[in-house]
């Protein structure tokens, strides 16, 4: 895929501004793809918030852009903040492997060898009297590239932003916190915030502010810190909302949490960025992922949860998996496979996975 000058500089700008878990290795989205990048130095036309899908590839699964299902007494809605085609999965995934090895794995799974598509998917859970948004996408900073569509998707799905009572964050990378603010104002003005204690302490530490993660630490101080007054720092095991439990999943970032939802005898895991590519993360869970800050710990966490999900046959959501990012894990020898959800969740009551 060709990289325009403009695409590259914009990519770096995004990487700096968002510190995203995937920005660095990916060619930017649709605009770079269709070869219509603006000449260097010329400002791009202002994005039209009402129609951000216009820049996405015509065949991208952006309509309707949300998927809803019930889980016991809870209602779960997956919202597609956007899709981003680019180079990869190597070296973002399989950084410690060769391009050929990663390409061969893709080929064996009937996928392109050197280009892939990344997905970004916040989730809304209605549980008890709470409307809980888990992660927030890119926000306004991503709209030029067809991302940052969460607000539009919420509206499409009939969820008013001011009715969101809680915002829960898996971790504080830019593609998860970008949607917290809309301009200078909180995007979810009535929401209380939940952040893992270790995660918040890390990103507000001097170490994070001065190291290679300084760009992301800056994003945290712009997007998350303004909410400090209505933020609770969660610990592993805390029930942060009715039936929603924080689960330690460190490695991708120092304080990354997964969340387990329990309702009416059913269970669902929200895995955040523990599994970020539906082939590599399962079939080669030990391969290094560029944006895992502690690669060995992230791999161990990946194996631990893959084993748990496979053994307990519990469905899960992965923030970056193909829309609607919902499925199961099967053991396959020493590794695993991702099995997309088809109709099992339509069947009530559940045969397995109860609790």
Closer to Zn ion by CB, 21 or 26: give it. 21
Helix segments in 86-213, DSSP class H: 99-108, 150-156, 174-177, 197-203, 206-210
Q: How far is the CB of 122 from Zn ion (least distance, A)?
A: 11
Q: How far is the CB of 187 from Zn ion (least distance, A)?
A: 18
Closer to Zn ion by CB, 130 or 273: give it. 273
Q: Is 303 exposed, middle or buried (0-12, 13-18, 19+ CB in 10 A)?
A: middle
Q: How far is the CB of 153 from Zn ion (least distance, A)?
A: 17
Closer to Zn ion by CB, 21 or 279: give it. 21
Closer to Zn ion by CB, 262 or 320: give it. 320
Closer to Zn ion by CB, 21 or 168: give it. 21
Q: How far is the CB of 276 from Zn ion (least distance, A)?
A: 7
273 binds Zn ion (CB under 5 A): yes
* Torsion of the alpha carbons at 335, 304, 69 and 256, rounded to the nearest 10: -130
CA atoms within 13 A on the CB side of 139: 27
Q: How far is the CB of 261 from Zn ion (least distance, A)?
A: 19
Q: How far is the CB of 179 from Zn ion (least distance, A)?
A: 13
The stretch among 26-34, 82-90, 151-159, 170-178 that binds Zn ion (CB under 5 A) is 170-178
Which two structure tokens, joined as six digits, stand for 186? 């909180």
Q: Is 342 exposed, middle or buried (0-12, 13-18, 19+ CB in 10 A)?
A: exposed
Closer to Zn ion by CB, 175 or 284: give it. 175
Q: How far apart are CA 260 and CA 329, in angstroms?
A: 15
User: What are the φ/ψ torsions at residue 326 (nearest 5 degrees)?
Assistant: -120, 130
The stretch among 77-85, 127-135, 172-180, 203-211 that binds Zn ion (CB under 5 A) is 172-180
Closest CA to 88 of 34, 20, 147, 27: 27
**Interaction pattern, residues 176-195, with Zn ion; x per rule: CB under 5 A:** --------------------
Q: How many residues touch Zn ion (CB under 5 A)?
A: 3
The stretch among 16-24, 37-45, 59-67, 147-155 that binds Zn ion (CB under 5 A) is 16-24
175 binds Zn ion (CB under 5 A): yes
Q: How far is the CB of 272 from Zn ion (least distance, A)?
A: 7
Q: How far is the CB of 18 from Zn ion (least distance, A)?
A: 10
Contacts 24+ apart (CB under 8 A), 160-163: 161/187, 161/188, 161/189, 162/188, 162/189, 162/190, 163/131, 163/190
- Contact with Zn ion (CB under 5 A): which of 14, 17, 21, 29? 21
Closest CA to 232 of 275, 168, 299, 296: 168
238 binds Zn ion (CB under 5 A): no
Q: How far is the CB of 118 from Zn ion (least distance, A)?
A: 9
Closer to Zn ion by CB, 130 or 135: give it. 135
The size of the chain, in residues, is: 355
284 touches 301 (CB < 8 A): no
User: What are the φ/ψ torsions at residue 108 (nearest 5 degrees)?
Assistant: -65, -20
Closer to Zn ion by CB, 37 or 249: give it. 249
The stretch among 13-21, 43-51, 54-62, 134-142 that binds Zn ion (CB under 5 A) is 13-21
Binding to Zn ion in span 239-268, by CB under 5 A:
none
Q: CB within 8 A of 45, min separation 6: which ones?
A: 38
Q: For residue 69, give the 3-state DSSP assignment.
A: strand
Closer to Zn ion by CB, 22 or 74: give it. 22
Contacts with Zn ion, residue ranges (CB under 5 A): 21, 175, 273
């Amino acid at each position: 895929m060709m990289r325009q000058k403009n695409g590259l500089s914009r990519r770096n700008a995004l990487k700096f501004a968002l510190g995203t878990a995937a920005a660095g290795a990916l060619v930017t989205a649709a605009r770079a793809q269709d070869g219509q990048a603006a000449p260097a130095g010329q400002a791009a036309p202002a994005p039209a918030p009402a129609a951000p899908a216009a820049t996405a590839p015509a065949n991208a699964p952006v309509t309707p852009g949300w998927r809803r299902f019930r889980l016991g007494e809870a209602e779960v809605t997956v919202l597609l903040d956007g899709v981003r085609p680019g180079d990869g999965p190597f070296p973002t995934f399989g950084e410690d492997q060769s391009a050929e090895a990663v390409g061969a794995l893709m080929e064996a799974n009937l996928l392109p060898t050197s280009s892939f598509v990344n997905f970004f998917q916040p989730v809304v859970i209605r549980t008890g009297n709470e409307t809980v948004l888990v992660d927030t996408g890119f926000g306004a900073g991503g709209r030029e590239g067809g991302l940052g569509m969460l607000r539009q998707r919420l509206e499409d799905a009939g969820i008013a932003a001011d009715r969101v009572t809680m915002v829960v964050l898996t971790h504080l990378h830019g593609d998860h916190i970008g949607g917290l603010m809309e301009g200078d104002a909180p995007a979810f003005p009535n929401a209380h915030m939940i952040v893992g204690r270790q995660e918040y302490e890390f990103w507000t530490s001097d170490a994070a502010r001065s190291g290679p993660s300084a760009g992301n630490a800056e994003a945290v101080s712009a997007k998350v810190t303004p909410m400090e007054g209505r933020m609770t720092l969660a610990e592993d095991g805390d029930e942060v909302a009715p039936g929603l439990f924080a689960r330690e999943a460190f490695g991708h970032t120092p304080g990354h949490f997964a969340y387990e939802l329990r309702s009416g005898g059913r269970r669902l895991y929200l895995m955040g960025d523990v599994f970020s590519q539906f082939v590599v993360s399962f079939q080669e869970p030990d391969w290094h992922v560029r944006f895992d800050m502690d690669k060995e710990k992230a791999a161990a966490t990946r194996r631990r949860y893959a084993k748990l999900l496979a053994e307990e046959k519990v469905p899960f959501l992965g923030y970056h998996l193909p829309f609607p990012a919902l499925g199961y894990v099967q053991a396959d020898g020493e590794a695993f496979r991702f099995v997309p959800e088809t109709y099992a969740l339509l069947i009530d009551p559940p045969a397995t996975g109860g609790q």
